[in-house]
Amino acid sequence: MKSSKLVLLSLSLVLLVGACTGGQTSTMVFTLPAPQVQLTDSPTIFPSTSPTATQLAPLFDIPQNRTHYELNLTLNYYTQYGIVEEIITYTNRSAQVFEELLLSIPPKNYPGSFTLWSLSDAAGNLITNWREEGINLHVPLAKPLQPNQTTSLRLNFRLDFPTVKGTFGVSGRQTNLVNWYPYIPPYDETEGWITHPQQVVNNMVVGEYVVNEVADFDVTLKLTDREELIEVAASAPAVEANGVRSYHLELARGFAFSISDSYFEHEIVEDGVRIHSYVFMEAQDAGKAVTEIAAQALKLFGELYYPYPREMLTIVAADFLHNMEMDGMVMISYGVFDFYNGTPKNNLTIMTAHEVSHQWFYSLVGNDQAKEPWLDEALATYNEVLYYQRYHPDLVQWWWDVRVNHYIPQGDVNSDIYIAGGYESYRNAVYLRGAMFLQEIRDAVGDEAFFAALKDYALNNTYKIATSEDFFDSLAKYSAVDLSPILARYFSD
Ligand SMILES: [Zn+2]
């Protein structure tokens, strides 16, 4: 951990931010009725140590024959490229016989960033007759893969990181590796392979388009240049030996890194979970505060849904102007950190609650982020106000005013990321009207049924890819109230 003198800009401004979450201050006051009900403590279902996946097993169906990704990355931080050896071990869990597998390669969205050196099958034979379609490769198999059969693919490739202020690429202060390797998408018996194109409007990426099943990861990272200067934030804790960092992460949708020679770190341990922040030098106080906010958020969502089942939560200051969730890790814009004013009336508090709640609604409970983004984004936005109701009830109306009402949001909550109008339309419809929709549902069914249904939805869809139908099935278990008038106002057919 590094240390230095800190100059904290005690600006009381709150900054606007973009992709996963955004917020902006306003002094305008609107009159949408705000919920005044305070959350009651729900009983915790676990002791105060972090449960492991195995301990949680009785609560969930643990998917068997999960895909395994072995990723061995050698990276030169200063010349901004990496070489990767990847081995994907894949079991056909469908009822179909696969003549080919689909590999989806997100780095191919950035021309020149991905160079495939070799692709070979389980027998070690080179595969050269693959067919390219957008960012996807159709990979023919020498022998068809029967249901329940397992095979593997081995890839060697080079990554040349694009200069992008985003989750894949390099900025002045940071190299981010999110969705940085080829993966096999989920296979649906009727729809086939689930892949969607990235949506970019006015040079802004709108929402998330990658849909992943939970898989297991064994990852190594070797830094080749001035390693002693470099800090690595990742989806899981590292074990270091002989200059190689090794990581093991189970039941996750992806494995992410954020690498920098400019991080200042802080860690606390709460209820057995290591909460570790990585921020830039001007935000060292905020880097400490964010761990405390995240601890509160983990505690609240642990009570509402179930305890966070991982050993560590990594929080990284993003060197770009939006926020993003990954498995075991969240990135919050440096802008949000820089404008932290030491009070909860601030975007750092809002965004931390939001991003931490994505550990449940995105990572543990999956959804099709392109087609049904409301399932994680409306819930994450609504989780922000649940955080305020629990810890800062005097700021609940402020939250509704600055986060939602200020924008006078329009649009269907069940819009997809391809909604006309780009990011703002998407945020207004999915996040902001999503939060209003959830509040109306809560008012209609009552707190007891609402929170029981949310917990039921979380428990029943952990490690799966949930749908809107799953969400409404959970609600219907706890309330017979006719929700169709609310749905008619917020959802399109
Ligand atoms: Zn979000």
Q: Please list all protein residues whose beta carbon sits less than 5 angstroms from ligand 1, which is an ion.
A: 20-21, 377, 380
- For 459, residues 6+ apart whose C-beta sits below 8 A from its C-beta are 59, 60, 305, 306
- Taking the whole predicted model, whether its pTM rises above 0.85 is answered as yes
Answer whether residue 22 is part of any domain: no
Instruction: Tell me the CA–centroid distance for residue 61 and ligand 1, in Å.
Output: 26
416 alpha carbon – ligand 1 mean position (Å): 14
Distance 56 CA to ligand 1 centre (A): 25
What's the CA-to-centroid distance between 126 and ligand 1, angstroms? 40
Residue 233 lies inside a defined structural domain of this protein: yes
Is 41 a member of any domain?
no
Give the dihedral sign, CA 296/300/302/308. Answer: negative
Residues of the chain with pLDDT under 50: 1-19, 22-50
How far is ligand 1, taken at its centre, from the CA of residue 354, in Å?
A: 6
Half-sphere exposure of 28 (CA within 13 A, CB side): 15
Rounded to whole angstroms, what are the CA distances from 95 to 88, 124, 375, 402? Answer: 20, 26, 27, 49
Distance 373 CA to ligand 1 centre (A): 9
Strands 366-367 and 465-466: parallel
Give me ligand 1 centre to Cα 365, in Å: 14
Q: What are 287's two structure tokens?
A: 């880097």
In the prediction, which pLDDT does 53 show?
Answer: 54
pLDDT value of position 27: 28
Average pLDDT along the chain:
90
Ligand 1 centroid from CA 381, angstroms: 7
**What is the SS3 assignment for 40?**
coil
Place of tokens 């989920």: 186
Q: What percent of the chain has pLDDT over 70?
A: 88
Domain assignment of residue 191, yes or no? yes
Q: What is the dihedral of CA 442, 352, 19, 79, to 10 degrees?
A: -160
CA of 372 to the centre of ligand 1 (A): 13
Output the CA 351–ligand 1 centroid distance in Å. 9
Ligand 1 center to 39 CA (angstroms)? 22
* 273 domain-assigned: no
Residue 252 lies in a domain: yes
Nearest CA to 303 out of 460, 473, 454 is that of: 454
pLDDT tens, residue by residue, 82-125: 999 999 999 999 999 999 999 999 999 999 999 999 999 999 99
Asked whether residue 305 is assigned to any structural domain, the reply reads no
Q: Report CA(194)–ligand 1 centroid distance (Å).
A: 21
**What pLDDT, on a 0 to 100 scale, did the predictor assign at position 49?**
44
Under a CB-based contact definition with an 8 Å cutoff, are residues 176 and 255 in contact? no
Cα-to-centroid distance, 404 and ligand 1 (Å): 14
Render pLDDT for 270-299 as a digit per residue (tens, 0 to 9): 999 999 999 999 999 999 999 999 999 999
* Amino acid at residue number 336: V
Which residue type sits at 8? L
Give distance in angstroms: CA of 375 to centre of ligand 1.
10
In the reported structure, the alpha carbon of residue 53 is separated from the centroid of ligand 1 by a whole-number distance in angstroms of: 24
Cα–Cα dist 395/401, whole Å: 10
Q: What is the number of structural domains in the chain?
A: 1
Indicate the residue type of 190.
Answer: T
Domain CATH number, residue 258: 2.60.40.1730
For 180, the domain range is 68-262
* Residue 110, domain member (yes or no): yes
DSSP per residue over 221-286, as a string?
A: EEE-S-GGG-EEEESS--EEETTEEEEEEEEES---EEEESS-EEEEEEETTEEEEEEE-GGGHHH
For residue 326, report the distance from its CA to the centre of ligand 1, in Å.
Answer: 10
